[in-house]
Amino acid sequence: MSGMRVGVMGGSGFARRTMVPALLRSGAGTLVAMASRSEATAAEWAEEFGCDGLEGYGKLLERTDIDVLYIPLPTGLHKEWCGRALAAGKHVLVEKSFVPSLAVAQILVDLARVNHLLVMENFHFSLHSQWARLSSFMESDEIGKVHLIRSTFGFPPFPLDNIRWKPELGGGALLDAGAYVAKVSQLLLGQGLEVTGASLQMDAATGVDRYGEAMFRNGRGQVAQVAFGFDYFYQCRLELLGTTGKMTSDRVFTAKPDYEPSLQLESPDGIRVERLPADDAYVHMWQRFAHILNSGEYRMEEEALLDQARLLEEIRRIAKKKDRL
């Protein structure tokens, strides 16, 4: 496939502000159509991006001039619409979290495998150029052997009408902010992590988890401690603690294209700040998706989807078990 022909399912603000402009900058494909529940929203997108505006998500599935669907819908709608997209023969780039449970993830991955389709979760942060530098500390001796990872992603509460507070749409801090800190732990410590502890603080008014924390361990004894939530002073941090030093990043998950990240290195010799170049992870996400699509090798992405779903499900299971004690 030389150039992706993309349809967007849903008029999310993030898609409109960030992912669609990044697609147009990336050179990886063209935007063919956007579908919304609202005819007015679809018309606005059509005028802004020069694409077709469709009323109703299902109309995208009928298009023979679309190869890839980008689905930024709430997690609670992914089972239906990712499933229908894959059944219609469309490759899928989906916003995190993929689905609320491992069982549903397995169903959708099996459907993708049968139809030889790519389905991929949009963890764009791992494609920012800073990630190569951050992950290099796991193998180098700059801070010695890394024993402990700490990661926090949290922000102040959203208005109560926000989809993140709606359980029927897959709301809650775990599937939103928690997905990031779980993913960063897997990327650094490997798949198959054991969840050794977890808790979730529920919001009585909405019935979703407001914040939480978890601890993971790999087979080499390395540990990740993570925290996430909707009731925080803004935090977007990664810390690596080694035998001879410590590394702290300042914006690991949400570095915009014009943002220059920095990291702080602490050692017995003092503190040093290292500034890193700005980069466009959103463009890299589209280019990466196109590269994997053209390669035809989808197994690693399927395994990543399933392991991420397993980890989030384990956090929820352990947290619920703890609450019953």
Active site residues: 96
The helix-helix angle for 102-114 and 299-324 (nearest 10°) equals: 170
Q: What is the DSSP letter of 260?
A: -
**Angstrom distance (rounded) from CA 4 to CA 64:** 13
**Angstrom distance (rounded) from CA 198 to CA 187:** 19
Helix (H, G, I), strand (E, B) or coil at 185: helix
Cα–Cα–Cα angle for 13, 17, 23, nearest 5°? 120
Q: Does the CA dihedral 28-32-122-92 come out positive or negative?
A: negative
Helix (H) or strand (E) holding 14: helix 13-14
Which phi and psi (to 5°) does residue 142 adopt?
Answer: -60, -35
Residue with tokens 């196109």: 290
**Angstrom distance (rounded) from CA 18 to CA 22:** 6
Long-range contacts of 57-64 (CB under 8 A, 24+ apart): 57/9, 57/10, 57/81, 58/84, 59/33, 59/35, 60/7, 60/9, 60/33, 60/35, 60/85, 60/90, 61/85, 61/88, 61/90, 62/88, 63/7, 63/32, 63/33
Q: Given 3-state DSSP classes, what are the helix, strand and coil percentages for the chain, each rounded to the nearest 5?
A: 40, 25, 35
**Angstrom distance (rounded) from CA 269 to CA 289:** 42
